[in-house]
Amino acid sequence: MQTLLKDSPAFSGFAVKDLAEAKAFYSETLGLKVTSEPMGILKLHLAGGNNVLVYPKPDHVAATYTVLNFPVDSVDLAVDTLSARGVNFEHYDMPSLKTDAKGVCRGPEGPVIAWFKDPAGNILSVLEER
């Protein structure tokens, strides 16, 4: 049987309203390597050789789910560092999803995780893999 896509170095992408604003956020605030690519898109260069494309879409509507997750050694350290850079963390108080005063979810099931948004409203997270 042919493997077809098994060995394909797949990548994902998502839209933003303002490419310049996104470039500043991802490069300056989050500290990622960001390059401008042909056709007016950005490439986020992630650890491990992974890349994500970010493209402009004037009528962009942010997804209601997490589009990008950043595994970290310490969510608390990441939240403190990003908060100092002006990032606001989401707070949830639902029966199955609660965050503390810092915006960190420490539930018994799942990872320690905190969610935040980019300037276009896309949801991102920092999480500790158990």
What class is the 12-128 domain?
alpha beta
pLDDT (tens digit, 9 = 90+) per residue, 4-17?
Answer: 788 888 889 999 99
Q: Is the pLDDT of residue 1 over 60?
A: no
Q: Is the pLDDT of residue 109 over 90?
A: no
Give the model's pLDDT for residue 2: 61
Give the model's pLDDT for residue 6: 82
Contacts of 97 (CB under 8 A, 6+ apart): 105, 107
pLDDT (tens digit, 9 = 90+) per residue, 37-75?
Answer: 988 899 999 998 989 999 999 999 999 999 999 999 999
**Rama region for 101: left / alpha / beta (φ>0; ψ in -120 to 50; rest):** alpha
CB count, 10 Å around CB of 9?
7
Tell me if the pTM is above 0.75.
yes
Give the model's pLDDT for residue 4: 77
Q: Which of 28, 16, 10, 11 is nearest to 54 (CA)?
A: 16
